[in-house]
Structure 1
Amino acid sequence: MRGEYNGLKALILKKNPSVYYIHCFAHQLQLALVAVAQKHPKIEKFFTTVHKLVNILGGSAKRSDLIRVNQRLKILESLSVVNIIEMIATDTTSTRTRSDACRLRRETVTNLHHFRVEMFYAVIDMQLQEFNDRFFEVNSNLLLCVACLSPNNSFAAFDKTNVLRLCQYYPIDFDSVDISKLDD
Structure 2
Amino acid sequence: MLRGQGYDGASNMRGELNGLKTKILNKYPEAFYIHCFAHQLQLALVFVAKENEDVANFFINASSLVNLIGSLCKRCDVFREKQQEQIPKALDVCNLEKGKRLNQESSLMRSCDTRWNSHYGTIVSIIVMFEAVLEVVEWTKNDRNQDNLGEATRLFKDIQTFDFVFHLFLMRLILGITNELSHALQKNDQDIVNVMTLVEVCKQRLQSLKDDDFEDLFHDVEKFCEEPDIIVSNMEDLHFILGKSRCKAPKITNFHCYLVDLYFQVLDMQLKELNDHFNEENTELLLCMACLSPVNNFASFDKAKIVLLAQLYPQGFDRMDLINLPIQLDNYIHDMKMHGEFSSLR
So what's the TM-score if we normalise by structure 2? 0.29
Which of structures 1 and 2 has the larger relative contact order (alpha carbons within 8 angstroms, sep 6+)? 1
- Could you say which structure has the higher helix fraction? 1
